[in-house]
Structure formats: structure tokens, C-alpha cells
Chains A and B, each alone.
Chain A
Amino acid sequence: MPHDLEPSLNEKAFVGQALQEGLRLDGRGFEDYRPISLSLGEEYGVADVRLGNTRIFAKATAEVTVPYSDRPFDGIFNIVTELSPMASPAFEAGRPSETEVLLSRVLEKTLRRSGALDTESLCLSAGQKCWSVRVDVHVLSHDGNLVDASCLAVVAALRHFRKPETSIESGVLTVYTPAEREPVPLSWLHSPFCVTFSYFGEEAEMALLDGTLLEEQTRVGSCTISLNRHGEICQIAKLGGTPVEAVSLLKSTQVALQKAREFSTIVDKALAGDAKRRDKGGLIAELSAENER
């Protein structure tokens, strides 16, 4: 089973020594993110996130299917993550590694279980027909902090996505093409974002944001906090590692709230830019049907 080689003793010792002196290898502060760039695709539901050298591509799709029998009023929502050798030689196609399982679980808890997407609005005919929304997350380049970048990509893809307009008449479902009718956005309730802290030091006294691959390989513990812009925490995952003081964990949530607001601003700006780009010649205002008297 392939796995990443551990860093050498020199690298481990040096990273620890540099952090003791308040230095990071790329010159960032402890609570700084690498440059984030989010670009939305030509077709709806495509998001490309670059976080330094980490690159995540997310694509949302939808199809009509039968709902689960135990939840006849809910649509289906899935997030699929697959790590391929393109991202890192440590990953092997088709065989889930620990990194992949942890990434899937955190995204699942952050987005699906927190109810970010209103699955009731995906129901077309109770017990018979519903939309199934699926987001595929592709890791194109892995330089650490996959969780934060993946969550940002999935949220942007889902908010950018448009599903086809439908109508039901006498039990017959009609799905209109984008040329016939404008597709409609998903019913989005809130935007949770992941913020991952990496802990260093004998007693995990130093907390870093946005660890690179080398920092992730040398850390003694990590904690992922998912929350939205309004300060509501969706999940906290601290899976093993060195114990952390409860007070410092509380401080981490304050830092995470600030970062979640920055993420929210990035997504809002990208969506506004995309809407402006699709409004060719400013004709949307001319076509408006709701006008003042």
C-alpha cells in the first residue's frame, strides 16, 4: 500500500524549531491562509479552488431518481471524493486511504448533516420522484489542507449550480431544457466552511492555520472546525493526537469564525462576478418582468 515517505529528522527538527521562534517556512503568520483563488466554470456547478499549491475541482450534477422509502419527502444529496495518484503518489486509485475517508466524513458532516442544502425542496412527487444532487470533488494537486479547500469548492459549486426547471401535471413530470426555461438555483440554507488547525509542540501549545504538506506530516494533532458566517458551529472534529486545552479550543473557534466570514466573502464575490459575466451587454435589466409602476 503506497504511502508518503516521512520527512527526514532534519526537516522535523527544523520545522519545530522554526515554529518555536514564530517562523513558518513560507513566511506566513500562524493564522494566515495561503493565497486563495476561486474560479467558477462556464457551465453551472463547476468550481476550481487554488490554495497555494493545493488545487481542488468540484462539479455538481443532478438527475431525477426515486427517493428512499424511509424519507419519501426528501431528495438525495451525495458528496463523492476520490483521491488519485495525480494529487500525490501516496494515493492509489480505487482504494480509499485514511486521508480520503477522513476527508469524506468531514465534508459529509459539514454540509449534508448540517442541512446546508434543503433536501425537501428536491422532492418532486412524494415517494415517487425526486432530484438527486451529487458533487464530485477532484483533488488535482495536494500540498496540504485538503479539507478547507474541498469544503470551499463544494459550497461554491453548489451555490453556482442550477437545476433544470420542472413541472408536474396529472402525474406527468416535464423537465425543461435550459433553452426552454431558465434553470433554477438550489434551495441553499447556509454556507458552512471548514477551518483546520494544526497543533505543534510537546503539549500542542502552538496552533497553525492552513498547514502545508510538510507541516501536516510533522504536526502532533489537528482539529477541524466547521461553522458558517453567523457563528453557528456545524461540527468539530479532533480525531486523536495530542490533547489540547479546552480554552485554546474555544479561542480557535473565534479565529475560525473570522476565517469563515472571509471564505463567505470570497464565494459571494465570485458568484457576483460570474453573474455579471453572464449578463452580456446588461440585457438582464431590460428583460426584467418585475418593474416599478
Chain B
Amino acid sequence: MAVPTQLVLPGDDVDPTELLPPHPAAGTDKKAKSPPPLRLGPGLRLLLPSGQVVPTVSGELVADRRKNLLWVESDGGRYSPTTGDLVIGQVLHTTADNAIVALAPHDAPPLRAVLPVLSFAGATRKNRPDLHAGTLVYARVSLAAKHLDTELECVDPTTGKSEGLGPLVGGMVFPVSLLMARRLLMASAEKAGVAVLAALGEEGLSFETAVGRNGRLWVNSDSTRTVVLVGRAITATDAQNLDVQQQRALVKKLVRSSG
């Protein structure tokens, strides 16, 4: 269970043993399962050779005792790729083997990634996916390193199926903040405090969405009005930082004004 502990600023001293104490008398009982080693998540850095742990961003320090994990919850403004992220990218151009995809178009220069043409479900040398400049793709980050090009894939490497990844046809992309994207991607909508999509569903609207960790939200529906309404609702929730009650009220107001 993740527990927020305190607000930290860059350069503060963080004592991991104080927040996540090691199990007492772990050595005396051989049957007891040893806890996993301490892991540092985003926003923390281990300084060598002193072994001191310091935050690199400002935000809330979160400790997960079961996973023995520490990280800083921050609503930073720019996306940095991490392996396993689901992202929505725009194809800039294609070469023989790769498609160059922009993950953050408004950065300078744009944050780019490499999407091999063969990393689609059912793609072979003779059967290539139809990609061209301007296509939107929903992909997973398969390789993210500081000094290498980020690599994407649209296929599950173990099963060979697409699992919902691939080119996005139709619809509209709306920019959202990285924090909003993380909340939309959380498994529990109640825990994330996001009730917009459920409220829109209760109002009888039918639509499909894809959320990218890079701050992009794709919405599609048979009705153009529905897409505009969903986009406005989520964008307003993000910009005004609404809570659950305010979100429901906003959805009711939008549906009434557009109906």
C-alpha cells in the first residue's frame, strides 16, 4: 500500500531506512521470506560514492512498504519515456525498416522514437502495415535509455497479438497534462479521482478512448458532437483540477448545453 509521507524539494536528504525500516530479526528465522531489496522510483537519485538518496524533483514522497519502493509524485511538464509506457505518437516519416514517431510534438526539438515496421501484429517482410506521415499510433515503449533512441512496439512480443495497439483510425487527439494521463490510466477510477468518463457513459454517450502516458488522449465515436464533448470535459477537468462532484456537475452542464 503506497503511503504519501512528506513534501520534498530537490536536494533534500531522504533516509530510506526511516521510511521503510528493514524487517527486524530477519536473519534469525530462515523460513521467513526475505523482503525485496529497496528500489528507487522516479524522482529519486542515489548519489555515489556517499550512498545518499536525494530527490531530483519537487513533489510528494510516496513509500510502498510491500514493494519496498520509494518515489516522488510530481506533476512535471515534460514527458520522459520509460519502458512499458503506453503512448500515442504521430508518424513523422517512414524509412525502409522504421517509422520515426513524434511522442511530444511541441517540445523543441520534438521528442522522437523509432517504431520498427515489423513490430506490428502479423507484419512480415512482405506484409507491411500502412504507415505514412501524419498517422497516429498507439504503442508501447519497448526500449528507453538515456543515450539511445527510444523504441516502440505495437505488438505483444510473447503472444504476437496486438492487444489493442496499432494505428488509430479517425477520432481526435486532445492534449492533457502528464498527471491527468497517469490518473486516467490508473486501474481504479475512484482512487484516481476521475469520474468524467463514467459520468459521460451514464449520460448515454458511447465512445472509445486511448490514453497515452505522453499527455495525449484519443477519443473516437460515431458522433462528432460526442467526441467534441468528451474532449472538452476532460480538458476542462484537467485545466481546472476539478474533484469528483465538480466533474459530474461539469458533465451534466456540457450535455445539457450541447443537447
User: Does A pair with B?
Assistant: yes
A interface residues with partner B (beta carbon < 8 Å): 2, 4-14, 17-18, 21, 23-27, 85, 88-90
Cβ of B122 within 8 Å of any chain A Cβ, yes or no, is: no
CB <8 Å contact, B110 and A8: no
CB <8 Å contact, B109 and A27: no
- B217-238 interface with A by 8 A CB criterion: 218, 224-225, 227-228, 231-232
CB <8 Å contact, A14 and B172: yes
Contacts of B257 in A (CB 8 A): 27
* Closest A residue by C-beta to B231: A25
**Selected interface stretch from B35-43, B59-67, B99-107:** B99-107
Contacts of A85 in B (CB 8 A): 108
CB <8 Å contact, A8 and B92: no
The answer to whether A18 and B173 touch (CB under 8 A), given A8-B134, A10-B168, A25-B231, is: no
CB <8 Å contact, B105 and A14: no
In the bound complex, what is the Cα–Cα distance between A18 and B228 (angstroms)? 8
CB <8 Å contact, A5 and B172: no
- B55-90 interface with A by 8 A CB criterion: 90
Contacts of A7 in B (CB 8 A): 134
* Closest A residue by C-beta to B106: A89
* Closest A residue by C-beta to B239: A53
- From B108, B110, B224, A17 is in contact (CB under 8 Å) with B224
CB <8 Å contact, B90 and A8: yes
CB <8 Å contact, A9 and B135: yes
CB <8 Å contact, A10 and B92: no
In the bound complex, what is the Cα–Cα distance between A12 and B135 (angstroms)? 11
Cβ of B4 within 8 Å of any chain A Cβ, yes or no, is: no
CB <8 Å contact, A14 and B134: no
Contacts of A89 in B (CB 8 A): 106-109
Cβ of B171 within 8 Å of any chain A Cβ, yes or no, is: yes
In the bound complex, what is the Cα–Cα distance between A12 and B171 (angstroms)? 10
B216 to chain A, nearest CB (A): 10
Apart from A8-B173, A11-B172, A90-B108, list 15 A-B contacts with CB within 8 A: A5-B105, A5-B106, A5-B110, A10-B136, A10-B168, A10-B170, A13-B170, A18-B228, A21-B224, A21-B225, A23-B228, A26-B232, A27-B257, A27-B258, A88-B106
Contacts of A21 in B (CB 8 A): 224-225
Contacts of B173 in A (CB 8 A): 8, 10-11
CB <8 Å contact, A10 and B172: yes
A112 to chain B, nearest CB (A): 33
In the bound complex, what is the Cα–Cα distance between A26 and B93 (angstroms)? 30
Contacts of A18 in B (CB 8 A): 224, 227-228
In the bound complex, what is the Cα–Cα distance between A14 and B170 (angstroms)? 7
In the bound complex, what is the Cα–Cα distance between A89 and B231 (angstroms)? 24
Contacts of A27 in B (CB 8 A): 228, 232, 257-258
* Closest A residue by C-beta to B110: A5
In the bound complex, what is the Cα–Cα distance between A11 and B90 (angstroms)? 11
B119 to chain A, nearest CB (A): 20
Question: Would you give 25 A-B contacts (Cβ < 8 Å), ordered by A?
Answer: A2-B108, A2-B109, A4-B106, A5-B102, A5-B105, A5-B106, A5-B110, A6-B134, A7-B134, A8-B135, A8-B136, A8-B173, A9-B135, A10-B168, A10-B169, A10-B171, A10-B218, A14-B170, A14-B172, A14-B227, A24-B228, A27-B257, A85-B108, A88-B106, A89-B107
Contacts of A23 in B (CB 8 A): 224-225, 228
